């Protein structure tokens, strides 16, 4: 005899939503049950894209249905609740960008080209700002290559609280990564193809609290990915990272065009991997491996300040690999370079015109 929907739903009442402590059927998370002979497909809407419990729920759904006579293969599709559904469960829906309301300045780190040091700059600048008394958060907006957790040595995953996400704290910074949207294991099936809606919803649900700065590590390039993020997040400005090579310069031009086209103020250029100080050289001789003056040229051409030049330094790479950014170590040329950029950023933000922009 064929299995009935009622039998399936009754069995699914054994599965709890861990945070709400109610079963997924009564909470309204079971969106759809399809029965095709012994093949069952259950669609479950998660309360949050980043639900740390999604694998557990999926396994428990399979487990709950396994014992029913006539049930063969069980497929579980995970999707997301709409804001309205969430509001019904959690009471008052957080207004759009609720979580951002304590953030004073959101500043993106961008580059036209991948691998030039955006993430490296983001983590080190965050630490340098925090050393100068600022409260700082980092949003890793690179959904498909989230490197921030690696560079800060973060292994734990964020947890939810009443439908909001709590950032992870490390080195005095608050960190959240959109990588948890992509998740490990099975991907979530987005309700519609609107990744920017998902990012928006995600951002609206992060409990940043009060922050002087939120640094946003953008995905590389000048395509859809950085564009989506920069239109969704209310940005107060952007820093553009480049290396002195010519090819990087062409990409920087495109990147500048992209942000100018969206009225995001460009704060300045940071030149990374600018020079290599030869170890053991008595007079501190410098080698300009990727050419020289690239950052300066582009800054001049676009009438933008060059906020700093960061040396090519194995300690910077090691800091990234070990999850202990070099700026935490005192007194090195590398950490001084990041601290100087932080000071210049603070000066920029204290200009009267910058204050007007944010009010
Ligand atoms: N100044 C530097 N000296 C030495 N190594 C560096 C420096 N800047 C970055 N690196 C190293 O280069 C690699 C790429 O840097 P990073 O990941 O920060 O670039 P990215 O622009 O964020 O890349 P993606 O576009 O892939 O996100 C990393 O291994 C990093 O440790
Ligand atoms: Mg990166």
Burial of 197 (0-12, 13-18, 19+ CB in 10 A): middle
- Residues 72-110 have pLDDT tens digits of 999 999 887 877 777 777 765 556 677 788 899 999 999
| Distance of alpha carbon 145 from alpha carbon 220, whole angstroms | 10
For residue 178 and ligand 1, the question of a CB distance below 6 A is answered with no
Element (H, E) at 184: none
Q: Whose CA is nearest to atom 29 of ligand 1?
A: 317
Strands 39-46, 74-80: pairing kind: parallel
Residue 125 has pLDDT above 90, yes or no: yes
- Residues 154-205 have pLDDT tens digits of 988 777 776 778 899 999 999 998 776 655 554 554 443 456 666 777 777 8
| Distance of alpha carbon 307 from alpha carbon 240, whole angstroms | 10
pLDDT value at residue 74 = 95
Mean pLDDT of 342-349: 95
Pocket test for ligand 1, best of 114, 125, 313, 317 (most atoms within 8 A of CB): 317
Q: Which residue would you say has higher pLDDT here, 297 or 345? A: 345
| Distance of alpha carbon 130 from alpha carbon 300, whole angstroms | 30
37 CA to centre of own chain = 43
Q: Which residue would you say has higher pLDDT here, 246 or 273? A: 273
Give 317 Cα–ligand 2 centroid separation in angstroms.
13
Burial of 336 (0-12, 13-18, 19+ CB in 10 A): middle
Q: Which residues are within 8 A (CB) of 150 and not within 5 positions of it... i.e. 6 or more apart?
A: 320, 323
User: Token pair for residue 219?
Assistant: 């995905």
DSSP code at position 16: E
Give 116 Cα–ligand 1 centroid separation in angstroms.
6
For residue 119 and ligand 1, the question of a CB distance below 6 A is answered with yes
Best CA proximity match to 338, nearest among 123, 164, 180, 178: 123
Of the ranges 135-144, 278-287, 313-322, 342-351, which one carries the lowest mean pLDDT score? 278-287
Pocket test for ligand 1, best of 111, 120, 242 (most atoms within 8 A of CB): 120
User: Token pair for residue 74?
Assistant: 């069980």
Residue 5 has pLDDT above 80, yes or no: yes
Angle made by CA atoms 157, 204, 139, in degrees to the nearest 5: 50
For residue 271 and ligand 1, the question of a CB distance below 6 A is answered with no
DSSP code at position 13: T
User: Token pair for residue 13?
Assistant: 């009442």
pLDDT value at residue 198 = 66
**Ligand 1 atom nearest residue 272's Cα:** 1
Give 242 Cα–ligand 2 centroid separation in angstroms.
13
Give 65 Cα–ligand 1 centroid separation in angstroms.
47
Q: Which residue would you say has higher pLDDT here, 188 or 251? A: 251
For residue 320 and ligand 1, the question of a CB distance below 6 A is answered with yes
Residue 213 has pLDDT above 60, yes or no: yes
User: Mean pLDDT of all residues in the chain?
Assistant: 84
pLDDT value at residue 221 = 74
Residue 148 has pLDDT above 70, yes or no: yes
- Residues 132-147 have pLDDT tens digits of 999 999 999 877 777 8
Q: Domains, the chain, ranges and CATH?
A: 5-90 (3.30.300.130), 98-352 (3.40.50.300)
Give 151 Cα–ligand 1 centroid separation in angstroms.
10
pLDDT value at residue 98 = 72
| Distance of alpha carbon 1 from alpha carbon 44, whole angstroms | 25
Q: Which residue has the tokens 């402590």?
A: 21
189 CA to centre of own chain = 19
For residue 37 and ligand 1, the question of a CB distance below 6 A is answered with no
For residue 242 and ligand 1, the question of a CB distance below 6 A is answered with no
Ligand nearest to the CA of 113: 1
**Ligand 1 atom nearest residue 142's Cα:** 27
User: Token pair for residue 190?
Assistant: 């987005």
Q: Which of 120-124, 198-202, 252-256 has the highest mean pLDDT?
A: 120-124
Among left, alpha and beta (phi > 0; psi -120 to 50; other), residue 351 is beta
Other C-beta atoms lying within 10 Å of the C-beta of residue 133: 8
% of the chain surpassing 70 pLDDT: 87
For residue 312 and ligand 1, the question of a CB distance below 6 A is answered with yes
Q: What is the SS3 string spanning 238-287?
A: EEEEECCCHHHHHHHHHHHHHHHHCCCCEEEEEECCCCEECCCCCCCCEE
327 CA to centre of own chain = 21
């Amino acid at each position: 005899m064929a299995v009935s929907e009622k039998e399936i739903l009754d069995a699914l009442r054994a599965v709890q939503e861990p945070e709400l402590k109610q079963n997924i059927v009564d909470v309204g998370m079971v969106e759809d049950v399809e029965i095709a002979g012994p093949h069952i497909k259950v669609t479950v809407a998660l309360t949050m894209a980043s639900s740390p419990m999604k694998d557990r729920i999926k396994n428990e759904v399979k487990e709950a249905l396994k014992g029913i006579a006539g049930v063969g293969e069980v497929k579980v599709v995970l999707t997301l609740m709409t804001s309205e559904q969430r509001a019904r469960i959690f009471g008052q829906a957080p207004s759009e960008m609720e979580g951002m309301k304590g953030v004073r300045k959101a500043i993106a780190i961008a580059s036209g080209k991948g691998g030039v040091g955006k993430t490296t700059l983001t983590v080190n600048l965050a630490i340098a700002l925090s050393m100068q008394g600022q409260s700082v958060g980092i949003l890793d907006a690179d959904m498909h290559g989230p490197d921030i957790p690696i560079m800060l040595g973060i292994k734990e995953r964020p947890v939810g609280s009443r439908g909001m996400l709590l950032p992870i704290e490390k080195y005095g910074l608050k960190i959240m990564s959109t990588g948890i949207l992509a998740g490990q294991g099975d991907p979530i099936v987005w309700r519609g193809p609107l990744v920017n809606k998902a990012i928006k919803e995600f951002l609206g649900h992060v409990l940043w609290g009060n922050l002087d700065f939120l640094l946003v590590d953008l995905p590389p390039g000048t395509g859809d990915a950085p564009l989506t993020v920069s239109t969704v997040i209310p940005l107060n400005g952007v820093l553009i990272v480049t290396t002195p090579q010519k090819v990087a310069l062409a990409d920087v031009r495109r990147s500048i065009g992209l942000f100018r086209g969206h009225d995001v103020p460009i704060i300045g250029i940071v030149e990374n991997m600018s020079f290599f100080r030869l170890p053991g050289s008595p007079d501190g001789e410098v080698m300009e491996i990727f050419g020289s003056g690239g950052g300066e040229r582009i800054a001049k051409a676009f009438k933008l300040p060059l906020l700093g030049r960061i040396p090519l330094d194995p300690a910077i790479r090691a800091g990234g690999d070990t999850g202990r950014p070099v700026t935490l170590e005192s007194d090195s040329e590398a950490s001084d370079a990041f601290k100087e950029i932080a000071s210049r950023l603070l000066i920029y933000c204290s200009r009267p015109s910058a204050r007007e922009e944010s009010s």
